[in-house]
C-alpha cells in the first residue's frame, strides 16, 4: 500500500496527524515547564525557611549566652567588693558585646549571601525554562507550518 501525497484523503490525514503532534508537543513542553517552575518555587521556599530558622536559632543562642555571661559576671562582681573585680566585670561585658556584634554581623552576611544565591538560581532557571519553551514551541509551529504546505 503506497501513500499518495496528492490525494485529498491522505493530505487531510497528514494534516490531522500534524495537528495532533503539535498539540502533544506543546502540552508536554508546558507540563514540563510548569513542573520545573513548581520545583524551583519549592526549593526557594525551603531555602528561605531554613535561612530563617538558622537566623532565629543563632539569635536565640547569642541572647542566651549574653544573658548567662552577664548573670555570671554580675554574680562574681557582687561577691567581691574590690575595684579589681569591677574592672573584670567591665572587660567581660565589653568582650561579650563585641562577640555579639561579630556573630550578628556574620549571620547578616550569611543571610544576604544565601538570599542572593537563591535569587540568582531562580532567575537563571526561569530564564532557561522560558527560553526552552519558546524554542520548542517555535520549532513545533515551524514544522507544523511546513507540514501544511
Whether 68 maps to a domain, the answer reads yes
**How do residues 1-38 score in pLDDT, each as one tens digit?**
455 555 556 666 666 777 777 777 778 777 877 787 78
DSSP-assigned letter for residue 104: H
Inside any domain, residue 7: no
As a whole number, mean pLDDT of residues 33-61 equals: 80
Higher pLDDT, 44 or 79: 44
Q: Write down the pLDDT at residue 79.
A: 62
Per the domain annotation, does 42 fall within a domain?
Answer: yes
The predicted pLDDT at position 80 comes to 59
Phi, psi of 3 (to 5 degrees): -90, 120
> How many domains does the structure of the chain reveal?
1
Do 59 and 105 form a contact (C-beta atoms < 8 A)?
A: no
Is 109 contained in some domain?
Answer: yes
- Whether 85 is covered by a domain: the verdict is yes
Question: From CA 143, how far away is CA 25, in angstroms rounded?
Answer: 11
E strand spans, the chain: none
With respect to residue 76, please indicate whether it lies within any of the assigned structural domains. yes
Taking the whole predicted model, whether its pTM rises above 0.75 is answered as no
Q: How distant, in Å, are the alpha carbons of 16, 53, 56, 62, 149 from that of 50?
A: 51, 5, 10, 18, 56
pLDDT at residue 148 above 70? no
Domain residues for the domain of 83 are 25-148
Is 50 exceeded by the pLDDT of residue 62?
yes
Q: Is there a domain that residue 61 lies in?
A: yes
- What digits encode the pLDDT tens for the residues 72-119? 777 766 665 555 556 666 666 777 777 777 877 887 788 878 778 887
Best CA proximity match to 24, nearest among 148, 124, 143? 143
Is the Cβ–Cβ distance between 125 and 36 less than 8 Å?
yes
Residue 5 lies in a domain: no
Amino acid at each position: 500500500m503506497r501513500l499518495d501525497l496528492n490525494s485529498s484523503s491522505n493530505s487531510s490525514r497528514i494534516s490531522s496527524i500534524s495537528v495532533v503532534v503539535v498539540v502533544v508537543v506543546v502540552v508536554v513542553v508546558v507540563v514540563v515547564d510548569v513542573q520545573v517552575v513548581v520545583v524551583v518555587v519549592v526549593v526557594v521556599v525551603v531555602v528561605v525557611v531554613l535561612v530563617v530558622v538558622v537566623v532565629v536559632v543563632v539569635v536565640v543562642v547569642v541572647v542566651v549566652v549574653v544573658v548567662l555571661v552577664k548573670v555570671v559576671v554580675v554574680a562574681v562582681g557582687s561577691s567581691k567588693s574590690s575595684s579589681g573585680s569591677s574592672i573584670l566585670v567591665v572587660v567581660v561585658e565589653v568582650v561579650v558585646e563585641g562577640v555579639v556584634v561579630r556573630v550578628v554581623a556574620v549571620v547578616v552576611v550569611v543571610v544576604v549571601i544565601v538570599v542572593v544565591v537563591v535569587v540568582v538560581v531562580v532567575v537563571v532557571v526561569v530564564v532557561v525554562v522560558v527560553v526552552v519553551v519558546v524554542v520548542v514551541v517555535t520549532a513545533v509551529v515551524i514544522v507544523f507550518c511546513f507540514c501544511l504546505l
